[in-house]
Structure 1
Amino acid sequence: MAKVAFLGLGVMGAPMAGHLAAKGHAVTVYNRTGAKAEAWVKAHGGAHAATPREAAREAEIVFACVGNDDDLRGVTLGEDGAFAGMDRGSVFVDHTTASAEVARELAAEAGGRGLAFIDAPVSGGQAGAENGVLTVMCGGDADAYARVEPVVAAYARACRLMGPSGSGQLTKMVNQICIAGLVQGLAEGIHFAKRAGLSVEDVLAVISKGAAGSWQMENRGKSMDTGSFDFGFAVDWMRKDLGILLDEGRRNGASLPVSALVDQFYAEVQRMGGGRWDTSSLIARLER
């Protein structure tokens, strides 16, 4: 069992930290809104701290799951940042979906302080976090990764080191590229089925057992058909992720025409007032 800290108790971070506590790890939490940290401690035990630095003090591993690059810099750097409170030899594990650039920047800063940094974005969404079955893709030093992998197993069904710092974030970008195209294809397929007078339920029941089958079809096909989008991974978050990977594509020369087009479609959904709808709401712009 390890002494750990967890920074950021949003829809992903709170259940992830809860799984760590349930496995017997000693968990100290920090959240920008202190009331959330207090509520988490009442539910799971452990302790909460007023700053990332205090939360990180004496922790073997410090986990974070915050919003974006700037949020990540905010909880790691500066006088009250986690790096200032961490002991030499300890490891910072970042579950934020952020840029590969900030992962490399913070890995270099951590290394200069005698710390290790693992970029470890996740896939599986809120349900995956709550059920402890996330997929974690990591970048960083192999020895540091080997130390954190057994602890990450508290909320992951798959975890793999993908390469040096930034590789975890780059792998998450591949994940989002693939999802963007799948969701758009599924939206168009269901829209077509409706216009053709077919039973969407029957269509999905048949084609999901063949080559067209996917996680998106199994988990989002029915809600697309009914127009239910008040759950899941928000369009605003997906646009953030698409912005990150399109920027990276411009840097490395990758051609991403479908991702760029789907990003524009999500912008239309935002203008429809769907910024907090699930990403499956792509079908809404076809049916308006």
Structure 2
Amino acid sequence: MAKLAFLGLGVMGYPMAGHLAAKGHQVTVYNRNPAKAQAWVAQHGGTSAATPREAAAGAEFVMACVGNDDDLRSVCLGPDGAFAGMKDAIFVDHTTVSAAVTRELSALAADQGLGFVDAPVSGGQAGAENGVLSVMCGGSQEDYDRAEPVIAAYARICRRLGDSGAGQLAKMMNQIAIAGLVQGLSEALAFGEKAGLDGAAVVEVISQGAAGSWQMVNRHKTMLDGKFDHGFAVDWMRKDLQICLQTADQIGASLPVTALVDQFYKDVQRMGGNRNDTSSLIRRLK
């Protein structure tokens, strides 16, 4: 069992850190809101720290799941950042961020003799709570091999896909695929409703064929019922899609459907759906 730090106790990080504690690891948590860290300790044991540096002191692995590029820099760098408290340790970043900031921080970590694995996840809140996330990793083989048994506490599958930044690029592919799927599902369900069909009955049939997807199986009921107070928020999806679109410009890739769906999510935000689940795309069509 390892001595670990976990930085960021949001809807994903809170249960992920809990799985680490349940596996017997010694876990110290840090959260920008200290009350959340205290609640986690009350539920799972372990300890909390006032700064990322204090949380990381003496840890073999420091895991992070925060908000964006700037949030990640803030928990890594500076006199109170995790890097200042780490020695001969590996930083594992589960945040969805740009490949550019990943490579920047990985290089800074290497300068200090630290390992760095970018390891964004897919599976949503339910996947985090049930410990069945898909984890896409980038970094050196040596760092990955050391970190993988720890990541396994909340992973259904975990794979190294290349050097630093490869995990983030794979996560972009994941979000690009999801954007098109959710829009297609939204159109299909809205079409069926206007055609007078029982959407749930149709999905029972077509989900077993070529149209089937995780989104269809897990989101069609709440989409038909107009319930979106769960899951992965529209604000987060737009943040992720902006990373995808910016990266596409940099590498010369074309993402016409992704760009269109990003604007559809902007419409949902204007409707007040910032914190709605991504499946709320269907709201535009009703």
Q: Which 10-residue stretch deviates more, 59-68 or 190-199?
A: 190-199
CA distance in 1 between partners of 2:17 and 2:200 (Å) = 37
What residue in structure 2 maps to residue 226 of structure 1? 225
1:148-186 Cα deviation digits (max 9, x unpaired): 100110000100001000000000000000000000000
Does 2:149 match 1:154? Answer: no
1:277-288 equivalences under 5 Å are: 277-287=276-286
CA distance in 1 between partners of 2:204 and 2:20 (Å) = 37
CA distance in 1 between partners of 2:20 and 2:176 (Å) = 30
What residue in structure 2 maps to residue 25 of structure 1? 25
Does 2:254 match 1:262? Answer: no
CA distance in 1 between partners of 2:192 and 2:63 (Å) = 45
CA distance in 1 between partners of 2:254 and 2:218 (Å) = 29
Q: Cα offset for 1:111? A: 0.3
1:1-288 equivalences under 5 Å are: 1-87=1-87, 89-287=88-286
CA distance in 1 between partners of 2:221 and 2:3 (Å) = 42
CA distance in 1 between partners of 2:39 and 2:101 (Å) = 31
The one-letter code of the counterpart of 1:244 is: I
CA distance in 2 between partners of 1:55 and 1:122 (Å) = 22
Would you identify which runs of 4 or more consecutive aligned residues in structure 1 move more than 2 Å? none
Return the TM-score normalized by structure 1.
0.99
| Structure 1 residue matching 2:153: 3-state secondary structure | coil
CA distance in 2 between partners of 1:170 and 1:201 (Å) = 35
CA distance in 1 between partners of 2:280 and 2:62 (Å) = 35
Query: Could you list the runs of 5+ residues in structure 1 that have no partner in the other structure?
Result: none
1:213-268 Cα deviation digits (max 9, x unpaired): 00000000111111111111000000000000000000000000000000000000
| Structure 1 residue matching 2:161: 3-state secondary structure | strand
The one-letter code of the counterpart of 1:149 is: E
1:81-127 Cα deviation digits (max 9, x unpaired): 0000001x210000000000000000000000000111100000000
CA distance in 1 between partners of 2:62 and 2:173 (Å) = 26
The one-letter code of the counterpart of 1:23 is: K
CA distance in 2 between partners of 1:192 and 1:8 (Å) = 41
Return the TM-score normalized by structure 2.
0.99
The one-letter code of the counterpart of 1:257 is: P
The one-letter code of the counterpart of 1:272 is: M
The one-letter code of the counterpart of 1:32 is: R
CA distance in 1 between partners of 2:38 and 2:11 (Å) = 16
- Aligned pair count? 286
The one-letter code of the counterpart of 2:80 is: D
What percentage of aligned pairs have identical amino acids?
A: 71
The one-letter code of the counterpart of 2:35 is: A
The one-letter code of the counterpart of 1:268 is: D
CA distance in 2 between partners of 1:118 and 1:279 (Å) = 27
CA distance in 1 between partners of 2:267 and 2:174 (Å) = 22
CA distance in 2 between partners of 1:202 and 1:16 (Å) = 35
CA distance in 2 between partners of 1:29 and 1:228 (Å) = 33
The one-letter code of the counterpart of 2:178 is: I
The one-letter code of the counterpart of 1:252 is: I
